[in-house]
Chain A
Amino acid sequence: MAQQEPEQDARTLTMSRAMVEAIAFEMREDDEVFYMGEDVADYEGIFDSTTGLREEFGYDRIMDVPISETAYIGAAVGAAQAGMRPIAELMFVDFFGVGMDQIYNQMAKNTYMSGATVSVPMVLTTAVGGTYNDAAQHSQTLYGTFAHLPGMKVVVPSTAYDAKGLMHNAIRDDDPVVYMFHKRLMGIGWMPAPDGPKTGVPEGDYTIPFGSADVKREGADVTVVTLGLHVHRALEAADSLAADGIDAEVIDLRTLVPLDTETVTDSVAKTGRLVVVDEDYRSFGVTGEIVARVAEADLDDLEAVERVAVPDVPIPYARPLEDEVIPDAADVEQAIRAVHEGE
């Protein structure tokens, strides 16, 4: 169990408000922190990632930039190497291709190639996820892509509490951090969120160490490992199975790099059964990685395993097609039942 969340009676925030609160705090503390992206000033972020910030900090520190991901993400790398602490926003993770060289050959590798004489203290924030029928170029999750390439820390919050604590860390960290927020969790008016992500959030600053997975629900029978939106879908599945006497433990990874293998293996040592749930593509991704780590740690602990992820197809547009490929609570429930009953 990683983090203690605040008392019930604390104020609650949406995930976007919690993120913005951390950014505003860090910007007040440190003049070197600034934010760059498309539609982040007057629009305040398409997904409410910068609400209120331009009003407080002005156009110099909340910068709208030309639509040129290579240039502005690369500029963040350069400013970070010069010692500033930029936050660059890539509006949808799907647009990464346009600026990918700056991300994975510059941002992620300069520390290593310089023998750690150069550091790149920047944050790349980006929106991920489908569930609203925006098709293949605007609905990907791509956790695996960023976690696969070495040199960047990868953060994926699922609640407002986690979002704020992880953002404080991300900005203070001396390495590049990719901060991936799921659109459906932000609490935007036009994209209703499930109940879960809106949580109590302390007023003051606090950090959540990277590499500390959180057990969002304790259980004895099956370990469910997941992240982002699917934490909430897994919790929904677990609650519905509880009525049938199946007690699932739900682990929220919270960061992919670094990955908290121990919390996962400890849980599997207890339950013996593993389900990994991901909104990213199935092959070569998070699900395979988690299963491999558990197998490497102690194959004997593992009695049954199941992966639930997007089959290896681009995200389709039409509702019945998208519903088919993005796992829902029922898919998770079925997988938990399958490993629980065994074969």
Chain B
Amino acid sequence: MYENMVTARHYEERLQEEYLEGKQPAFDISAGPIPGELHLAAGHEASGAGVCQHLRDDDTVTAPHRPHHIAIAKGVDLKRMTAEIFGRETGLGTGKGGHMHLFDPDVNFACSGIIAEGCPPAVGAGLAAKKRNTDSVAVAFLGEGAIDQGGFLESLNMASVHELPVVFVIEDNDWAISMPKERITDLENGARRADGFGLRGERVDADDAVAVYEAAGEAIGRARDRNGPTLLELQVHRRMGHFMGDPETYRSESDATAAQERDSIERLEADLRAEGVDDETIEELRSRAHDRVEEAIEWAKDQPEPEPAAAHEDVFSNPPSGVTDTEPEITGHGGED
């Protein structure tokens, strides 16, 4: 778990460096080796690692727009994920999806950049598990800003009435872009959303990876044992802007500093040391994580960019023949008299 968290943190530090390349001195979102939006998850690591530690490859995870720490913990292929973020041909989605849309069917991982819209597909994965009578489970991650969305609330209800093996995980980092939690919900404890739908709701109040691990273990165990869905809310922190380039003018300095101070990684490390894990072991875990990240980034940057013509492929798994002419030739269609 510690290793996953350290990997995620280092990975994102490296992505940040790569992302900023070509965007200096003036920030231009479309410049540099990683264009588009980039949402980093520094401060969220305990949630991805603590939850996914209990999952197997055949369990399904749906992640939102801030997915890297969850993907890493779920065991998504790090090299191919990185290649995807760099828009390379050998990326998870052959360069078509990018950082908010990572799909790794080998470990049943999927993403959506539309708020709360990963919840219904997670319910579907739970439904499939129930119908097929397997003991796999599904976990949907979402932010606290997403808990007002219909897609989430309808999913809670559906999972509850059909008793599906689904765990909903709210990552509460106090902010939805510039909107503080209190401005968009009257509920301090988002897990209370469960109350009206007849499923269990539980909140882990501090970003304490061990507490997250324990709460998630119970919830996932319950789902696996067919004892119904759970809604978990986990306190995490947003150490950076909402996306790279966010000036955060709406955020007080004290709030940003407080987020920096409550670091779940440092906390877990202290816990490990207190339990007698020595420096050498910690250093070894850190350097293994570091190497893995460097290797993935180096590999990804070496990969070829996709050929432009590939843009026309993959709309369908089973392309209809003779129907979809995605790029007709320019010939000046017209008649001679």
User: Using a CB–CB distance below 8 Å, which chain A residues touch chain B?
Assistant: 38-39, 41-43, 46, 64-68, 70-71, 94-95, 97-98, 131-138, 189-192, 273, 302-306, 308, 311-314, 316-325, 331, 334-335, 337-343
Shortest distance in angstroms between B94's beta carbon and chain A's nearest beta carbon? 8
Assuming A313-B326, A317-B97, is B176 touching A304 (CB within 8 A)?
no
Shortest distance in angstroms between A90's beta carbon and chain B's nearest beta carbon? 12
- Say which one of B158-166, B285-293, B308-316 lies at the interface with A: B308-316
Residues of chain B in range 279-337 having any CB-CB distance to chain A below 8 Å: 305-312, 315, 324, 326-327, 330-336
Name 29 A/B residue pairs within 8 A (Cβ), A-sorted.
A38-B177, A43-B250, A46-B177, A67-B145, A67-B149, A94-B114, A95-B114, A95-B115, A98-B151, A131-B30, A133-B36, A134-B36, A134-B98, A135-B36, A138-B100, A191-B28, A192-B28, A305-B334, A311-B327, A313-B312, A318-B98, A318-B306, A321-B311, A324-B308, A335-B330, A335-B332, A338-B330, A342-B334, A342-B336
For the complex, give the distance between the alpha carbons of A308 and B30 in Å.
23
A136–B101 CB distance below 8 A? yes
B309 CB contacts on chain A under 8 angstroms = 324
Given contacts A71-B150, A318-B91, A334-B330, 13 further A-B contacts (CB under 8 A): A39-B177, A41-B178, A64-B179, A65-B184, A68-B150, A131-B30, A190-B27, A305-B332, A306-B333, A312-B326, A313-B315, A314-B315, A335-B330
List the count of A-B residue pairs having beta carbons below 8 Å apart: 184
A273 CB contacts on chain B under 8 angstroms = 334
Q: Which B residue sits closest to A273, measured CB to CB?
A: B334
A321–B306 CB distance below 8 A? yes
Q: Which B residue sits closest to A183, measured CB to CB?
A: B29
For the complex, give the distance between the alpha carbons of A94 and B185 in Å.
24
Interface class of chain B by DSSP: loop
The 3 closest A-B pairs by CB, nearest first: A304-B334, A318-B87, A317-B98
For the complex, give the distance between the alpha carbons of A41 and B250 in Å.
9
Interface string of B70-103 (1 = CB under 8 A from A): 0000000000000010011001010111101100
A319–B334 CB distance below 8 A? no
| Residue B124 at the chain A interface, CB threshold 8 Å | no
B178–A342 CB distance below 8 A? no
| Residue B113 at the chain A interface, CB threshold 8 Å | yes
For the complex, give the distance between the alpha carbons of A319 and B96 in Å.
10
B36–A189 CB distance below 8 A? no
A43 CB contacts on chain B under 8 angstroms = 177-178, 249-250
A66–B148 CB distance below 8 A? yes
| Residue B117 at the chain A interface, CB threshold 8 Å | yes
A316–B330 CB distance below 8 A? no
Shortest distance in angstroms between B138's beta carbon and chain A's nearest beta carbon? 21
Q: Which B residue sits closest to A343, measured CB to CB?
A: B332
B28–A190 CB distance below 8 A? yes
Assuming A67-B148, A192-B28, A325-B311, is B35 touching A133 (CB within 8 A)?
yes
B183 CB contacts on chain A under 8 angstroms = 64
A138–B185 CB distance below 8 A? no
Shortest distance in angstroms between B145's beta carbon and chain A's nearest beta carbon? 5
Q: Count contacts on B: residues with CB < 8 A to the other chain.
A: 60
Shortest distance in angstroms between A99's beta carbon and chain B's nearest beta carbon? 9
Q: Which B residue sits closest to A336, measured CB to CB?
A: B332
A331 CB contacts on chain B under 8 angstroms = 330
B332 CB contacts on chain A under 8 angstroms = 304-306, 335, 337-343
A98–B95 CB distance below 8 A? no
Find the residue from B309, B315, B332, B335 having the highest chain A CB count within 10 A: B332
Assuming A42-B178, A67-B146, A318-B87, is B117 touching A98 (CB within 8 A)?
yes
B100 CB contacts on chain A under 8 angstroms = 135, 137-138
For the complex, give the distance between the alpha carbons of A64 and B250 in Å.
13
Partner of B36, one of A42, A303, A317: A317
For the complex, give the distance between the alpha carbons of A323 and B26 in Å.
23
| Residue B245 at the chain A interface, CB threshold 8 Å | yes
Interface string of B102-138 (1 = CB under 8 A from A): 0000000000111111000000000000000000000
B37 CB contacts on chain A under 8 angstroms = 134, 138
Q: Which A residue sits closest to B84, measured CB to CB?
A: A317
Q: Which B residue sits closest to A272, measured CB to CB?
A: B334
For the complex, give the distance between the alpha carbons of A189 and B25 in Å.
12
A318–B305 CB distance below 8 A? yes
B113 CB contacts on chain A under 8 angstroms = 135, 137-138
For the complex, give the distance between the alpha carbons of A319 and B86 in Å.
10
B330 CB contacts on chain A under 8 angstroms = 306, 308, 331, 334-335, 338
B98–A98 CB distance below 8 A? no
Q: Which A residue sits closest to B88, measured CB to CB?
A: A318
For the complex, give the distance between the alpha carbons of A64 and B28 in Å.
27
Shortest distance in angstroms between A296's beta carbon and chain B's nearest beta carbon? 17
Shortest distance in angstroms between A326's beta carbon and chain B's nearest beta carbon? 10
Partner of A98, one of B30, B114, B308, B331: B114
Q: Which B residue sits closest to A335, measured CB to CB?
A: B330
A339 CB contacts on chain B under 8 angstroms = 332, 334
Residues of chain B in range 148-195 having any CB-CB distance to chain A below 8 Å: 148-151, 176-179, 183-185
For the complex, give the distance between the alpha carbons of A70 and B117 in Å.
13
B35–A319 CB distance below 8 A? yes
A314 CB contacts on chain B under 8 angstroms = 96, 315
B249 CB contacts on chain A under 8 angstroms = 42-43
Find the residue from A273, A303, A324 having the highest chain B CB count within 10 A: A324
